[in-house]
Structure 1
Amino acid sequence: MRRTPARRLFAATLLVASVLAPMALAGSPPVQAAGIDRHDSCARDCLDPALRARLDRAIEDVREQAGIPGAVVGLWMPGKGNYVRASGVADTATGEPMAADSYVRIGSETKTFTVTALLELVDEHRVGLDDPISDYVPGVRNGHRITLRQLAEMRSGLFPYTADADFEHDLLSDPQRYFTPRELLAYGMKHKNTFAPGAEFQYSNSNLILLGLVIEKVSGQRLGDFIHDRVLRPSGLRHTLFPTGPEFPAPHPHGYTDQTLSGETADATCWNPSWAWGAGAMISDLHDLRSWARNVATGELLSPRTQAQRLKTLPTGVPGLSYGLGIFETGGWIGHNGSLPGYETVTVYLPPLKATLVIMINTDSLSGTQEPSTLLARAITRIATPDNVYDGGVSPT
């Protein structure tokens, strides 16, 4: 039976990984070693060969069973070594191999950048986390009671615009369409709030659209410009960008999705991500995401007090998964995942080991009920950090 298009992509529910059963690979494409470049320090500091072999096999098992065309995995474990590998294909039509230096769309990992930008304004006393959103954006239902903190924590009760049927139809009918932030909010504002502010957790992209508008109003800059000037440039992230349309730097893999009106798989590489804006429009690469993982977890751009508030994660209702100010914690790993048509990513940091894990794949099509990037992260951490297994992530953008 064909899956109802879009509903699972935009439902904004929580997903928890299950372990894929071992499966023999028959004729599977070999793992491609990443080139010896700025991405791969393995020539100097590799993980133990036996551990690398186990990771190679685990990644291929998941990729085969979950139908992932191509994957890039980076794992950095100080004192033990590094692991950077690209496997599979970037283009199913030509068979072009996946490359470790690819750019990808990072979906909801954008939230970590948007919330960092907001927290910089908090440190400058230009906004307060407990300010009501009505102080900055008029017309938000119950906005006098919903705080910026609750928006960043996904506890506002605002209906997620991506779950609106009209939005789903409008996006999938014309994936090249440009959406404005106000247009996006209008889809969600048709619906009543789902609970009282602070009462529950609900992953809602409406929250991040509002926080983006707060940043624009207070800073006087476009959101993408503010993030570039105040977050990307100080962090040295030269391969990360906030696109204004479907532009996509090369090299990048083709991205494949089954979230279409017909239910058939489509190439979503050049779909316009304006519909995700401050919740999920950004692009990055392995090198930058590695740096960003540590930055987010350690608060390099923020005051200690503000970073401590960011890391105060709260239960989500899913065992092993808690959410803070634009970040989650699962199995001790801190960071975020991302998923939007054609691409999924995971960027997380494990403070006790100072370890970093980055995963980039070129599909968002579920394997059963599971996101393929979550399956990969779980399989990798079961081997590399068995005391700290990545148990799950928040839903697609």
Structure 2
Amino acid sequence: MGRVSRRGLLAGAGALVVEAATAGCAATRSVPGTASTPPAPVDDLPARLNIAVTAAMRQLGIPGAIVGISVPGVVEYSRALGVSDDVTGRPMSLDDHMRIGGVTKTFTGTAVLRLVEQGLMRLSDPIARYVDGVPAGDRITLRMLGDMRSGLYSYEQDRSFVDAMLAKLPAGPGAGAVTPRELVAVTAAHPLSFAPGSRFEDVDVNAVLLGMAVERVSGQPYGEHLREHVFEPLRLTHTSCPATGELPAPYARGYTRGAGGAVADASLWNPSWAGAAGAAVSSYADMTSWALALGKGSLLDPATQALRLARAQDSGPGAAYRFAIFESGGWWGHDGSIAGYTSVVMSIPQRSATLVVLADTDVPEVHAAGFLAETVTRTATPDNVYTQLGALPRPSAAPAPTTDR
């Protein structure tokens, strides 16, 4: 749900949908330290998790991942598995930074809700009050944007835009820079996909517009506002919204499918096309802290958190999605997908439980981090199983990886 890259450059939380020229997933890799893993005693949950996760990584050909689940009184598990550099074989580290894609939307939504608490905006406000040039902007409210019910065309579906970005991004961290206004212009060149508020569709332009509204009301650049009002209050010292494709050290390299379908290293691709929908970078420790703060509404008043989690009027597809957050199997949070990386950041607030998965690829046909998150929860919390809000195939039903790498 809400990913920033459905294939290669794009996807639902903000990526540029790329139709790969070759089908299938990355080739099966050996994951360091797994070949000689002994059978786990039936009561050794961490050992069983190691076996399940490494098997899932082999199945999808995931180079490396950071996987953690904490359920007080049940399990405490955090591992860095595989490699952060598929060329040098450098092992993945719990300290590695990664792009978190659509999880960025949760920061954006929180920033909006804090401004609502201050009386500076209302969720019923039309986006036209803050940003001009938006199709049906007088009818699309901030709430519709946060709930992914605006009906706006997804700019990452525009073939010419995607092709242009794929041609520019590999040139370096500063290449392919695009402004939020330019992203909105791509969307505005197309008709609405459906009447505002009538149904659910996760498109990045919704969060991009919310980010623009935050800037308009606060008078601060989006990244600076998040740093001051979200990151610093929670001491998320390894989380940022970089202005270019540069990544803080240490970082895991991310693998995607680029132009022509070839697997490419997208680590330093400029994420400006994802903006407030997916440009953030973080670490495992910060995401674990954020997972619980998001679920509990630590930065919001209880009434505002309740408003955030209020179910949309209809109970059709997308009903599990609220204001820049969704629920799956009792877990609350968000996933992400951006060129080279996938993520899942969730919590069960009433149990103070957290689930964080960061993977350094978006090559597999299924969401890599989501696949691992489902594997972990089926093993550790069978009463609370996480699944992607898009019919993620179960681990046993996933397509077999091909040998195209």
Q: What is the TM-score normalised by the length of structure 2?
A: 0.85
1:30 and 2:33 equivalent? Answer: yes
CA distance in 2, matches of 1:26, 1:256: 14
TM-superposed CA distance for 1:313, in Å, is: 3.8
Q: Which residue of 2 aligns with 1:18?
A: none
Contact 2:45 2:75 in 1 (8 A): no
Could you tell me which amino acid in structure 2 is paired with residue 220 of structure 1?
G
In structure 2, the CA distance between the partners of 1:287 and 1:316, relative to structure 1 (3 Å rule), is farther
1:28-177 matches, within 5 Å, as: 28-30=31-33, 50-175=44-169, 176-177=175-176
TM-superposed CA distance for 1:6, in Å, is: 7.6
Q: Which residue of 1 aligns with 2:225?
A: 226
CA distance in 2, matches of 1:102, 1:231: 21
Contact 2:133 2:188 in 1 (8 A): no
Q: Which residue of 2 aligns with 1:302?
A: 300
In structure 2, the CA distance between the partners of 1:92 and 1:11, relative to structure 1 (3 Å rule), is closer
Q: SS of 1:188's equivalent?
A: helix
In structure 2, the CA distance between the partners of 1:244 and 1:316, relative to structure 1 (3 Å rule), is farther
Q: Which residue of 2 aligns with 1:354?
A: 352
1:245 and 2:244 equivalent? Answer: yes
CA distance in 2, matches of 1:50, 1:317: 40
1:264 and 2:262 equivalent? Answer: yes
Q: Which residue of 2 aligns with 1:17?
A: none
- % identical equivalent positions: 45
Could you tell me which amino acid in structure 2 is paired with residue 12 of structure 1?
G
CA distance in 2, matches of 1:328, 1:31: 33
TM-superposed CA distance for 1:79, in Å, is: 1.7
Q: Which residue of 2 aligns with 1:377?
A: 373
Equivalent position to 1:332, from 330, 334, 339: 330
CA distance in 2, matches of 1:8, 1:250: 24
CA distance in 1, matches of 2:196, 2:338: 27
State the number of aligned residues: 362
CA distance in 2, matches of 1:118, 1:57: 41
CA distance in 2, matches of 1:316, 1:9: 31
In structure 2, the CA distance between the partners of 1:6 and 1:279, relative to structure 1 (3 Å rule), is closer
CA deviation map 1:289-342 (0-9, x unaligned): 0110111111111111110011124478558x7100000101110000111111
CA distance in 1, matches of 2:29, 2:61: 14
In structure 2, the CA distance between the partners of 1:394 and 1:121, relative to structure 1 (3 Å rule), is farther
In structure 2, the CA distance between the partners of 1:79 and 1:11, relative to structure 1 (3 Å rule), is closer
CA deviation map 1:164-189 (0-9, x unaligned): 11211111011121101111111111
Q: SS of 1:262's equivalent?
A: helix
Structure 2 unaligned residues grouped into runs of 5+: 14-27, 36-41, 170-174, 392-405
CA distance in 2, matches of 1:8, 1:90: 18
RMSD over aligned Cα atoms: 2.3
CA distance in 2, matches of 1:348, 1:313: 18
Q: What is the TM-score normalised by the length of structure 1?
A: 0.87
